[in-house]
Amino acid sequence: MCFYGFTALVFSQPAINGTTGSYPFPQNQNNPFGFHASVYNNQDIINAYDKWYADCVTSYGAGGFLRVQRPNDSGLAIDSTVSEGIGYGMIIAVYMNDENLFDNLWKYEQTKVNTNGIMNWYIDADGNVETTPSGANGATDADEDMAWALLMASKQWGGSGTLGSTYQTLAGAQINRIYNKEIVGSTPVAGDFFTDINPSYFDPAYYREFANADSDTADKAGQDLSSIKRALVSGAALPSSLRNELGSRDVAVLQCYATAELGVIAYETPALEGMVVNESVVIEIVKPGTGDPVGEGEVGEVVVTSFNPDYPMIRLATGDLSAVLAGRSPCGRTNMRIKGWMGRADQTTKVKGMFVHPSQIAELAKRHPELGRLRLRVTRQGEQDAMTLAAECATPAGALAEAVTASLQSVTKLKGAVEFVAPGSLPNDGKIIADERPVG
């Protein structure tokens, strides 16, 4: 699937396609909430953007504009387009300061709308609405992403680019369409002609900005929302500041952990001590890059099995990190609890031009069962990449260091040092590869 994660980072970088933006890539600024990489390589993101653009952005079947295609997704038609891909593409274009791409994606979107002015969610490579499954009508998560991207375009470039109205005006119109057609009562549904509710479609981080942008929102219109007392949110992290702000309006907010494939996996209770696992799924916590369970309380990748007869999923690796919480929830629920979302499991990094994967470190652990927790630290020494394997071991034998060093080279095809540390001294954070190379 042609969607890549991007983090807005910055030094002085020439604008892509000659665009001059207020926030040229990269920004190198940390949001006060969430998880952040301690080190990163801006050029890697630029390279990923270039590859994504080459592989997934096309003018074929786009009616003279541009679209994001899915060349390798076995679940849908080859080279087809979904509205979520257009939304992601618009967000990426804003962060990468590519106004030409942004405008052409939006122009394509506007040629594929239904009677409500909302994009049909699934379009084939030739530009026709798919029929199997039906691609007609909107998908709320994608429409929210587009509204967010339009707001960010207004901040990035201002004005209207090559579009007929300003980005801000278009954002307000998109928000109104979502509010009028994809919100039932006060709850987002899956789309403008759908009634089912999927919490993974909820984007609480967007809604405050939507309220500020839309002159018809309750705050600005003076509408009474005092009847809203409870909210369940998902789809993005819930920072304590947002929970507190909603709490100041007498709205009790809980969050759940959900995916599009599985629905709700786990949920908070009023006790606010972790998340209780949904009784319809089975959760395992495994070492990233393997299927091997971690010890109780250890951080690892969340793997979920669902026996839904309509859409069963067996050991779906979510790519998310979490850990099991011991004991019963103070609220009285007795099922397993997890700590919630703790970051992403994929820690693949490149050393001396070669990729090193968490699965390779897991292989080292299998070859040397006398070792405890492992962490590969990647640094720079004398303008060369260097790696050191930190390994917990109570009583390392004299020949063990030499054996582990040889295994490290055999598995990764790279030379590295081995450092033994006391059991329990490495952090329990699920991190197997720590890229500590300086940036810039």
- Ramachandran area for residue 139 (φ above 0: left; ψ -120 to 50: alpha; else beta): beta
40: left (phi over 0), alpha (psi -120 to 50) or beta: beta
The alpha carbon of residue 240 and the mean position of all alpha carbons in its chain are separated, in whole angstroms, by 19
Decide: 432 and 288 in contact? Cβ < 8 Å: yes
98, 99, 130, 141: the active-site residue: 141
Q: How many helices (H) and strands (E) does the chain have?
A: 10, 21
Distance of CA 354 to the CA centre of its chain: 25
Percentages helix, strand, coil for the chain, rounded to the nearest 5? 30, 25, 50
Helices 204-213 & 140-156, crossing angle to 10 degrees? 60
Give whole-number Cα distances, 133 to 72, 119, 189, 203, 308, in Å. 18, 16, 19, 25, 19
> Is residue 44 flagged as an active site residue?
no
Catalytic residue (one of 84, 192, 320, 435): 84
Instruction: Determine the Cα–Cα distance for residues 236 and 239; give it in Å rounded to an integer.
Output: 9
Asked whether the beta carbons of 303 and 317 are under 8 A apart, the reply is yes
Cite the active site residues.
Answer: 84, 141
